[in-house]
Structure 1
Amino acid sequence: MIERQHLRIIMQIERHGSLTGAADALHLTQSALSHAIKRLESQLGTELWQKNGRTLRLTQAGEAVLALAQRVLPQFDHTEMQVHQIAQGKQGVLRIGMECHPCYQWLLKVVEPFLLAYPQVDVDVRQAFKFGGLHALHGYEIDLLLTPDPLFLDALTYIPVFHYEQVLTVASHHPLAGKPMIEAGDLANEVLITYPVEPSRLDIFNQFLTPAGGSVKRHKTIETTEILLQMVSAGRGVAALPDWLVSEYADALGLCQIKLGARGIHKALHLGYRKEETPGGYFQAFIDMAESLGRTGAVKSETD
C-alpha cells in the first residue's frame, strides 16, 4: 500500500505545487512519479491530488498522507543516518537546536572543546529552530534542544546545565545605571529593546512588568545580539539580557547590569532530549561538558 517513496512524492508535491518541481527534486521523470501515485490512488480508492491550472492541490486524502510523511520521514532519515555512520565506522553527528537568541554565544563555549575532544564527531547547530525547537526534537530533526524555558513532557528529559540571572542592561552613562535594582515604574519612559519574540514569552514582561502593571514607552525588536548591544551602548534603549552575556561585553561597550526587582529573575539553560534515547558515548559527554561549563565557567576536555 503506502510506501516510503509515495510519502516523499506527496511531500515534494506540497512543497513545489507541480509535477515538474517534485520530479526534479526526487530525480524522477514526471511520468514515473505520476504513475506511482495513480497506482496508489487505485489501491486506496480515492484521489490524492487534483489539478488547479498548472498547479496541483492535495485532496483531503492527500493531506492525510502528507501528515503521515511529515511524521515518519524524519524518523526514517534519522535511523538511516545512524546505521550509515556505524557502517562507515564514524562516531556520529550531534544535531543541536536552540530556543533562545543568546544561546548561540553560550553554546560555542561547549562546542569548541567538544570538537577537540571528539574529532570524529560533527556538531550541527540548527538556529532555524529558534522558538520552535520542541517540534524539531519530537520530529527527530535534532538530537538536543537548548532552551531556557523547558516544557516538561513525558517523552522528554531536560537537564539544567547553566544557571544565570536575567538583568536590565543599560549604558554606563544611562540615568538608571546607578540604581541597585530596577522597579517596574522605572521603565515607563524607556525604549525596551528585545529579540523578536512575542511579549508574552519574554521574561521582562511575564515575570516583571506585567505582574506589576508596568509598561515601557516603546518596545523595539532587534534580532542580532551584537547590534542590540550596540544600540544599548549608544543610549538608544535598554534591554533585559542574561548576566553572563552582559559581563562579556560590559567593558568593551560600556554596559551596566542592574537587578530586576528585589528578588531578580533567575533562569537556567536546559538541554532536552528524547527519553527513548538514553545518552551514552559522545552524547553524554556533550551534556557532561555543558554541565561542567555551567558549574565552573570552563570546560575540561575528556582528553585532559
Structure 2
Amino acid sequence: MSVLERSHLIIIQEVAREGSLTAAGARLHLTQPALSHAIRKIERQLGVKIWRREGRSLALTQAGEWLLSLANRLLPQFELAENRLEQFANGERGTLRIGMECHPCYQWLIKVVSPYLDRWPKVDVDVRQKFQFGGIGALFSNEIDILVTPDPLYKPGLKFTPVFDYELVLVVGSKHSLRGEKFVLPEHLAGETLITYPVPTERLDIYTQFLQPAGIAPRQQTQIETTDIMLVMVAHGRGVAALPRWLAEEYASRFELCTISLGKMGIAKKIFLGCRETDEEIQYVEDFIEFAGSSHLNSGR
C-alpha cells in the first residue's frame, strides 16, 4: 500500500520551484545524488511515475502535476497548523497576517497597528498587499488571518465585523471649477479625467454607485497606484479622484485639495475586518478586531 508523506510533497514542490536538482537540493540541504535517490524512492513508494526526463531537466508527469497542486494546497496548511500550535505553546506568540482589499486604508491601518503592537509585544504584524483583490480566497486558504475590505462577501465559515464608517467624496484641486460646490451629480464628471487606483471598474464605488446608474462615463480614466501621486495629479489639475473624506482631508492642507459630496445624499461606506470563524477564539485576532473598531484613531467616525 502506497503512503503519501509530507516529505514527498516538499520534495515535489521544491524541484518544481527551483527547476533543477542542484538548486532544489541546496534548498533541501541535500546533495544532488541524495535528492536523486529520494526521488526514485518516492516513485517506488507511491507506485507511479512523477517525473520524466527532458534533456538535462526533470518535468512532471500528469500524476506529478496533480501532486504539485496538492502540495501547494496542503503545505501552507501544515505550516499554519504548526505555527498555531507553537503560538499556543508560547503564550500567544505569532504573526497576525493582514490582507488588504482597500487601497486607501493603509494610512488608517498604520495608526491602528502601532498601538496594537504595544498591547501585544509577542505578536508581529505582516501586511500582504498581493491580496488586494482576492482576499476571500486568501482567508479560506489560510494565507491571511484578517482581511480589510469595504466589500464583504458573506460565506459560511467567515465572519465580517464593521469597524468604521466613512463617506466617499470627490476630490478636486483648489482651482477646479467644481470647488466650493456642496455636491456634484454624475453629469458633472462626463468631461473629467477620473484618477483611480488600478482596480477593475466593477470594484470602484464611483462607478457602481454613482456613474453607471446614471449611464455616465468620465471622459478619461487614469490609474495610479499610490495615493500621494494621485493627489499631486489632482492638485495640479490633471484630473479628479474619489476617496474617503477622512483620507482626502488629511492630505488637503499639503496638496490644496477640496472635497465634494457625490450626490445630494452622499455615498456612505463601511470598512470591515473579515476572519475565519474558527479563529475567533484566538485572542490576539479577536483583540485586533475589537481594538480597530473601538479605537479613537478611527478617522472615519
TM-score, normalised relative to structure 1: 0.91
Deviation of 1:186 after TM superposition, in Å, equals 1.0
Q: For 1:250-269, what aligned pairs fall within 5 Å after superposition?
A: 250-269=252-271
Assess if the C-alpha contact under 8 Å between 1:93 and 1:121 holds in 2: yes
Q: For 1:142-161, what aligned pairs fall within 5 Å after superposition?
A: 142-161=144-163
Return the letter of the residue paired with 2:240. Answer: V
Q: For 1:42-191, what aligned pairs fall within 5 Å after superposition?
A: 42-89=44-91, 91-191=93-193
Return the letter of the residue paired with 2:208. Answer: N
Q: State how far apart, in whole Å, the 2-side matches of 1:148 and 1:59 are.
A: 43
Structure 1 spans left out of the alignment, 5+ residues: 300-304
SS where residue 262 of structure 1 aligns? coil
Q: For 1:157-236, what aligned pairs fall within 5 Å after superposition?
A: 157-236=159-238
Query: Deviations along 1:181-219, whole A, 9 cap, x unmatched?
Result: 221111111111111111121111122212211111111
Q: 1:298 to 1:279 in 2, by over 3 A?
A: farther
Identity of aligned residues (%): 54
Return the letter of the residue paired with 1:286. Answer: F
Deviation of 1:222 after TM superposition, in Å, equals 0.7
Q: State how far apart, in whole Å, the 2-side matches of 1:13 and 1:285 are.
A: 40
Q: State how far apart, in whole Å, the 2-side matches of 1:298 and 1:110 are.
A: 13
Q: State how far apart, in whole Å, the 2-side matches of 1:206 and 1:228 are.
A: 21
Assess if the C-alpha contact under 8 Å between 2:172 and 2:259 holds in 1: yes
TM-score, normalised relative to structure 2: 0.92
Q: State how far apart, in whole Å, the 2-side matches of 1:293 and 1:186 are.
A: 37
Q: State how far apart, in whole Å, the 1-side matches of 2:85 and 2:201 are.
A: 43
Query: Deviations along 1:226-259, whole A, 9 cap, x unmatched?
Result: 1111111111111111111111111221111111
Assess if the C-alpha contact under 8 Å between 2:196 and 2:222 holds in 1: yes
Q: 1:294 to 1:266 in 2, by over 3 A?
A: farther
Query: Deviations along 1:266-290, whole A, 9 cap, x unmatched?
Result: 2111111111122342222211111
Q: 1:262 to 1:31 in 2, by over 3 A?
A: farther
Assess if the C-alpha contact under 8 Å between 2:246 and 2:299 holds in 1: no
Q: 1:135 to 1:30 in 2, by over 3 A?
A: farther
Q: State how far apart, in whole Å, the 2-side matches of 1:276 and 1:90 are.
A: 16
Root-mean-square deviation (CA), in Å? 2.1
Deviation of 1:91 after TM superposition, in Å, equals 2.8
Q: State how far apart, in whole Å, the 1-side matches of 2:38 and 2:169 are.
A: 58
Return the letter of the residue paired with 2:9. Answer: L
